[in-house]
Structure formats: structure tokens, C-alpha cells
Structure 1
Amino acid sequence: MTGTSQERGYGLLSALKQGENYWIEAVLEKKNLDAVINFLHNITGKPVRITDRTGKVYACSEGVKMASADDHFVDIPQNGNSILIYDPAQRDLYYRADSSDGEAWIIIGNTGEAEYPAWLPYLEEVATAVKICIFIAHEKENMEHQFKKKLIEDILLWNASEIKELIRQNKYCLDLDKLYFVSIMEPVLDSKTDMETLYKHTLEWLKYHEDVVICSVWNEKYIIFICPNKYDLQTLESDDNWDNYLSYIRKHQKDIAKRFNIPTYFGIGRKYLITELHKSYQEALTALNISKLTGKKNSVTHYLNLGVFKLINLQETAMLRQFCAENLGRLLEHDRTTKGELLQTLRVLCDTDFDVNAAAQKMFLHFNTLRYRIKKIEELTGRQLDRILDRLNLFVAVKLHDLLLLNGLLGEPGSAEKEAADSTANNPAAQLMRRRSCL
């Protein structure tokens, strides 16, 4: 392409003179941003991308690399309500197409600081059309998300009649006669990353990797994956080797860490028919929480690998609470009445394999102070920490106590009990466990 960007712009003034209505009609008729992208690319001679506020790319000019999930996202500079941002290091120009909330951005790459002032009239001309197109795209995404959320809610909360009706309506090719399993990701978000951005990145990542039937945000805390069972192509028998899927998750985990620099936890349940998939969800959630409570960082944990902790998922909630009370009841009461730290001390001992020196260092305690606390723990629990069976009972009781408390299933006297009850009302895991305990 020859001539300066300004000369190329004059050659396209006939389109510009149509006004913003011309571009609005163009995007509504074509239902995409191709006309806008081509116009801006011809005006500037530069690579052009259009994104929303999360940095997700909705359109780009020819030649822009889009070979991976990361290529579909751009880091939008945080610079207040500035309509125009120029990054001299990257030579990128960011134009806020929606001045009110920054939901739409036009990004022109490889730009010199002296070049872009001449492009502002053209950017202003197409801004409303870009804003409308991004708004429509978001509305479609929200409708899709609400449908998936409803479907997942019915599957995971065991509404069997609703499941069958939704499967008849949906486009995800779910089959009542095939096996599926649930995987749960819990990210440790920071101030730079929100769940919406991570979810959109995950959806793009899945397009370049293994197929997942449904992926959705769940309970504002997790990203849920409903995955189809694999079958041996020669024998048509179920493939029970989890290694491929585990390596696939670890790759996803690694890519998230590289892109967002945040840790994630994954839990995986066993395979079931759709109408029984709530069991896989509960297993995946148990695997995820147990791995966190046992101090594993960035873990990928399958329910089958939980060992003795698998027994937790087989018991009624009332029995689990009773086990905690029998082993920790007097200790918990002592902590409540004296504002003591014996439970935390026992928790650290469990996490350090009952190594007294390591526990003292971790808690910044004098060795004799820790020995005194251990003596008090033994007195209140009736257990001896130098006996393996007593250690096992206390270890399981502590982890079980934390797991039940995490899911809002372990009420404590006073305000804590009310808080646990309130959290249960909005906690799908707690609802499901309570339903199980009533069967």
C-alpha cells in the first residue's frame, strides 16, 4: 500500500461522509465488525484489533497473529477514564470507543506518536458502531451463560426431570446414555484479574485444546467443566486412563499461570451418567478442598487419589459432624472460651507431619510453648500425639472440620452458627450434602 496514512484516508472520505449511521447499519446488517476493521486498516495501514474491557479480541485485521488463546486477549492499560492512551514502549494506540464505561476498545498497533492524531476523526466516526456491536456480542454471551448456568445447576443439584427437558432443548449434544465427569477449577484471583476475564480466556483456550461439553462460572468462585468420557477407538470400551486428561489440565494450569500469574486448584470427579453427575461434582469439590486443606499448592487432584479421605464423601453429614465433635469438641470449646489457638496449633502440627521443631518455626513459637500446647491438646482430646492411630484420628478430624466449615456445614454456637447457616443457603455444595444426609 502506497502513500501516507493521511492520503489513504482522503481516498476513503466517501465512506466517512456517510456519518456514524452508515457504520451502525453496516455492523447490524453484517452482524460483525469486518467493515469497520477493513476501513480502519485501510486508513492507517496498521494492524487493528477491537476488544471489550477484558481485552478479549472480537475482530482484527488480516495479518494479526491469532494462533493461541493468549493471542485473543490484549492487556488494556489502566489509565482512569482517558479516551486515548498511547503506549510508546509497545507502539500501540488504545482508543476507548465507549467513553462511559470502557466496554469497547479500538487498538492500532505499530503506531508512531506523530501519526495517530490524523486518525482521530475516523475513530470517532466508527465508535458508536463498535460500541453497539460489542454490546450485542455481550448480550448473546450473557444469554448463553444463563442457559449453561441453568443446565449446570439442574445437573449438579440433581433436578433430574429438569435435566431431561433442558437436554432436549440444548445444543451441547449431551446424551443421557453416555458417561461424563466434572472438573472444578478454583483460581486464587488478585486485584489484576477478575473471574470474567479468566472465564473468557478459558473459553478461548478450550477452542485450541480438548473439547469440553460445557464450561461455566459457578457460585462466583469456581469454573466448572463437564467433560465427556473417552472411548478406545478400536474396542469402543471406556478409556479409564486419566493420565491424558491430567496432563491436559496441568497444561491449562501452566498457561493460566503464565498469562495471569495466579495459582489455581483443580478437583476431578469420577464418570457418571448425566442424571447422576451431581456425584461427580461432589467428588471433584471434595478432591479440590482436601488438596487445599492438606497444604498442596497449584494442585490437580482426582477423587480416586484421595486415599482415606474418599470415605468422607460416603458418609452422612451428621456422622461427619459427630466424628469431629468426638475428637475435637472439648478442644474447640476451650478455644472459644479462652480465645485460644489450640486448633490452629494442631492444624500446623498436621501440616508438618507432627514435626515439633518445624511446627514451632512455622508458628514462631518457643519450643517449650509448643510443648505446653501439645500437652493441653492431648489432655482435651484424650489422644497421645506420639501414637500413630491417635495422630490419624486427629489429622482426619481437623481436615474434616475445616472441610465442613468451608462448605457451611459445621455450625458453631452464637453468630458462627448463623453465619454457617446463611452460607449454606447460597452454597450449592452445602445444599447437595444436606440433601444427601436426608436420604
Structure 2
Amino acid sequence: MNVAVEHIATDQPPDDAKARDLDYGWQSGNRIELLENGEAYFPKVFEAMRAAQREILLETFILFEDKVGFELKGILIEAAQRGVKVVASLDGFGCGELSTSFLRELAEAGVAVQMFDPASKVLGIRTNWFRRLHRKIVVVDAAVAFIGGINFSADHLGDFGPEAKQDYAVQIVGPAVADLHHFALAQSGRQVRARRGWRRRPQRPGLSTTSNEDGLVRLIYRDNVQHRDDIEEAYIDALSKARTRAVIANAYFFPGYRLLREIRNAARRGVHVQLIMQGQPDVLLAKLAARMLYDYLLKDGVVIHEYCQRPLHGKVALVDDDWSTVGSSNLDPLSLALNLEANVLIRDRAFNQQLYESLEALARDHCQTMPEKRKPRLWLWRLTVGFLVFHVMRHFPALTGWLPAHKPRLKPIESPAHDV
């Protein structure tokens, strides 16, 4: 059976926002709560959705037809039926296996379902590998927002078994929610109001703010137009200013040379730098790629842990005692050069300490630490190959006509009948 689903192919803001360029500054006075794994995340986000009175905006890379996906579907249907405006933006690759009946039930209840870059299978194989809406954002009634790396799937719960993912998200209440709401609304193709005091490029997206108060939040994102490097620059800027400690926990770690250099330089000047990588990967290639970089980092004092209890899916980092970031962006070519991503930067001492204690416990209790003086094995060759691979991947979209960086666009396409 066929179902009408709105299709979006987008790498940039909609026309009414394009002239303004979606650039968000630091917002103060926020309450930020760390949510670790599905056990903490799903109850919070589902509770907020059940209490929604006006609007639910949802973006996710993956939605599966499992116990989490079915619970989400029921909540969205019930909200739409009581008059709440519900917009669900799903990725055509990550959500490509959803059944027609699943989507039809949502649409018939009044949920506006949008599929980013849907593509039919060729010989049973999905073809939209390199065009991904990878963000995970939920905004309810423009009053509470959730952002992080957790998808709507049961593999984020511990009872899923050995393949359950270790991951993080945050709940935000306060002025920064207005920015997340504005961004999610604009990216969904819905009409948005012009923001008061709109500023273009108010500052670099790292530590550049003179305020010493807590509760500061800034939304940053990457697209394939004017914000290609914002997330990467935030990491580089923060690491360049690090004084005492830096911890990066990232599932898919294969960054470019500039970020690698800042990690190494921080360790050289005495910053205690720890990386937490996948030791039990869900994608073996990710582990092999990261290990190409180990010798380069270890020789300058970077401490590398591999998380071995289950697959690591987190995308979080902290620097010193007040800067943190949580979001959807990995530190690999897909996230840094191709995908649509979103992170929040957080300046809050209590949150930073909570995240630090969580990551320290992870490293202490469930990781193996790479030996500091393991025998160098062609590290220069490994780094050179890694550099070439990363930058070929980074510039490949611009050299071809079928990847998103070639000709970014936002064009809602109404389809009366589409099988998903």
C-alpha cells in the first residue's frame, strides 16, 4: 500500500531564512540536564511529548519499528489527535526500512512526516549512503528541548544486549530553547518569524564569550553551505585554549589534521588529554581507522581508552572545568564534511563536572588503556594515509554531482504515492 509522505532534499536553510543565515549566539540562564543512554533519555522526552499542548518538532536519523519506535508512534499519534502540531523529520537512509503501514498510521492521525532524501533500493541495496540528516533534536512547545546522539531505537537500552549503545543527550530548559525551536522549525521548511537582534557570525563558536556565568548554551550546526566547519572549529578553538584537562568521547574518530594537531598540542603543553574510543565497535572500519592515528597521539602524551563493554555511540567532549559539547556530530569525514549535524556548546561548571565524572567512570571501569610507550609502527606513514583519506573524503562531494555539497537545496516535494 502507498502512503503520502512529504520528501525533503535539503542542505541549507529554507528561502525565508537563507538571507539571514541561521547563526546563534550564547544564551544564558539555562538549566541543562545530562541524559545518559536510553534509560534516562526516553522517559524524559516521552514525558515532555505526552504533556505537549501546542507543538512537537522532531528530527532523528534512525527510527526503528521496535518497542521504542512503537511507543514514540503512539505518543505522536495521540498528540496529533488532541490538536498538537506534530512534525517528524526522518532521514531517508536511517529510517529507510520503516513500513508503509507505520508511516500511514502517523500521517492519517495528522502527523506531518517528512523524509530527508528518500531513495529507492537498487537490487535490494539502499543508494543514499552519503546524504544524511544525522541530527537528533526534539523541541516541545518551544519550552523544552532535547539534543544529542540518541536515536529512537531499542538498541539504546541496556536490555538490548551486548550491542546496546553507550550514548548521551541533554535536556535544556531556558532561553536557548528558543534558538533550537527556531532552527528546527526553519529546517523543517515551516515558516519562521524573523528573530530580534539577529546577528551574523557574532563570534567563533568556541570559548569566545566574556561571561563567567553558568548556564550558557549555544547551538551550532553544520550544513553544506555556510556552516560547513562550525562544529570542527568549536573543537579546535576550545582545545587551543585548554589549560588543565580535555576529554573527548567519540564513536567514530577520524578527524582532519588541524583537529589532530590541536589535540596533540594541548597534550604537549601539559593538558591532561583523554580520548575514549570504540573498543567494541558496531562498525569495524571505524575502529581500524581510529587506530591509524594512535601512534601520532600517544607519542605526545595523549591518553587513549577503548570502551569495551558495548558499542560506544557518544559524541561528547569537555575542556577544563566549564566548557562542554553534546550533539550528533562524530569526528569523522561523514560528520565533519557531509552530514547535517547539530551540537550544543555548554558553559556550566556543574554540568561539566557531571559529564567528567561519567566519562571518568567509563574509562576507569569499562575501558582498556592503550600503552603509553607501545612500539611505534610506521606512525608517519599511518598519519599520511589518514590525512589523504580524510581530505579525499572531505572534498569528494564537491568533485561529483551526486553528493550533497555539490548543489545544496531545500525543495519540499509533495508525493501522492510513495513506498518507503
Q: TM-score, normalised by structure 1?
A: 0.27
In proportion to residue count, which structure has more strand?
2
Choose between structure 1 and 2: higher helix proportion.
1
**Which of structures 1 and 2 has the bigger CA Rg?**
1
Higher relative contact order (CA 8 A, sep 6+): 2
Normalising by the residue count of structure 2, what TM-score does the alignment of the two structures yield? 0.28
